Amino acid sequence: MGHTQNPAADPAGPGPAPHPSTSPPVCLPDTGTGERWVFGFAGQARAEVHTLGARLHSLLVPDRRGHFADVVLGARDAAQVRGPAAYFGATVGRYANRIAGGRIAVDGAVHQLRTQPGGHTLHGGPDGFDQRLWRCEPFHSADRTGVHLHLHSPDGDQGFPGALNVRVTYTLDRDGDLTLAYHAVSDAPTVVNLTNHAYWNLEGEGRGNVLAHQLQVDASQYTPVDAELIPRGEHRPVGDSPFDLRAPRRLADVLTHPDPQLAVAGGGFDHNWVLDGGRTALPRRAAVLYAPDSGRRLEVHTTEPGIQVYTGNGFSGEVTGKSGRAYGAYAGVALETQHFPDSPNRADFPSVRLRPGAAYRSTTILRFSTD
């Protein structure tokens, strides 16, 4: 994708990064990932969103010394966005996470979805929303700037019933908060579950792993998985386990725990936490990620009932990042606000059903600060 971080934005550089422009969002030339929109306010965060996959490609935020760095993992080459980096920063759907066997029943009719190797449907199927070109509309005011992205998903897309019109809005405000708002309507009963799949390294993209990061998740329960990472059905209390993140814990300390659930996921987290309070009308805090060296702190607020935490256990250096450094294991952590995996097949999980005349709405706020 040809993005090279400005040396002045490097935390080790001689001074703070140049301030982002206060002008409306700017569209940069397509380098293989669609239109590239850059927006932000002076002295605050600056975002870059690509229309391929409605993808958050970069986010520059300051550390405790005022030095800016890009904290979002992303591929250097556009070709990798069509391959091993397909989900990096993308809007995933029509159904984020896993659906067992790729089968759903809607109003008694069984629908077979397209599946990936392993026989399940992940993040909407092999040609999900992460590989679509979205239509972009920028907006700008005195206090808010960003982009609306639109996508039409026809009836039968990847096997899902109903034609779906989707809008995702990225908004930066003058406090540096990034809000992701989702809206969808369908002309027939269907299921919808959307999220953003950014990987975070709050020390800066390409700067080693996140094992020194501290993570807190406001959840008393999680959903254990089977050997294929499909929820087994129960809500298990997090107490006396590495999944107890009700107080901040260093990832290096919890991921070395000899818990069979960590082993199933390949040596880390790839699990859904059941957020306390369930789905809410207004965003409330769900998780906090903190990087001690830079002092950067990310609070995740959401209306969603769950959050999937994936600690990059499967990264093997296949993806080369924007920094030119390969991403090894634990190079970033994904905090995916969403409904639970396989909810269409679990009557006791929060419903993901969307009917004509109703609207799917979801909001997640990413709030950055420093200590």
3 state DSSP class of 235:
coil
Residues 6+ apart with CB under 8 A from 47: 38, 39, 40, 56, 58, 59, 60, 146, 170, 172, 178
**pLDDT of the residue at 240:** 95
* Burial class (CB within 10 angstroms; exposed 0-12, middle 13-18, buried 19+) of 258: exposed
**pLDDT of the residue at 22:** 65
Cα dihedral sign, 159-152-139-5: positive
- Which strand ranges, in their side-by-side order, compose the sheet holding 333-338? 199-200, 333-338, 306-310, 270-275, 219-223, 236-237
**pLDDT of the residue at 43:** 86
In this structure, the strands spanning 219-223 and 306-310 are: unpaired
Q: How much of the chain is helix, strand and coil, in % rounded to 5?
A: 10, 40, 55
Token code pair at residue 273: 């936490």
Q: Where are the alpha helices (DSSP H) in the chain?
A: 78-81, 251-254, 260-264
- Looking at the annotation, which residues are catalytic? 197, 336
- For 6, half-sphere exposure in the C-beta direction (CA atoms, 13 angstrom radius) is 16
Which one, of 300, 59, 30, 23, lies nearest residue 145 by Cα? Answer: 23
Give dist(CA 137, CA 135) in Å, integer: 7
Q: Could you tell me the CA-to-CA distances from 58 to 1, 75, 354, 368 in Å, in that order?
A: 11, 10, 32, 14
Give the DSSP per-residue string, 68-94. Answer: EEE-B--BSSHHHHTTTTTTTT-EE-S
- Looking at the chain, the whole-number percentage of residues with pLDDT higher than 70 is 94
**pLDDT of the residue at 85:** 98
In this structure, the strands spanning 91-92 and 195-196 are: antiparallel
* Burial class (CB within 10 angstroms; exposed 0-12, middle 13-18, buried 19+) of 16: middle
**1 with 31: CB under 8 angstroms?**
yes
**pLDDT of the residue at 14:** 32
Per-residue pLDDT tens, the chain, 371 aa: give them. 333 333 333 333 333 343 444 679 999 999 999 999 999 998 899 999 999 999 999 999 999 999 999 999 999 999 999 999 999 999 999 999 999 999 999 999 999 999 999 999 999 999 999 999 999 999 999 999 999 999 999 999 999 999 999 999 999 999 999 999 999 999 999 999 999 999 999 999 999 999 999 999 999 999 999 999 999 999 999 999 999 999 999 999 999 999 999 999 999 999 999 999 999 999 999 999 999 999 999 999 999 999 999 999 999 999 999 999 999 999 999 999 999 999 999 999 999 999 999 999 999 999 999 99
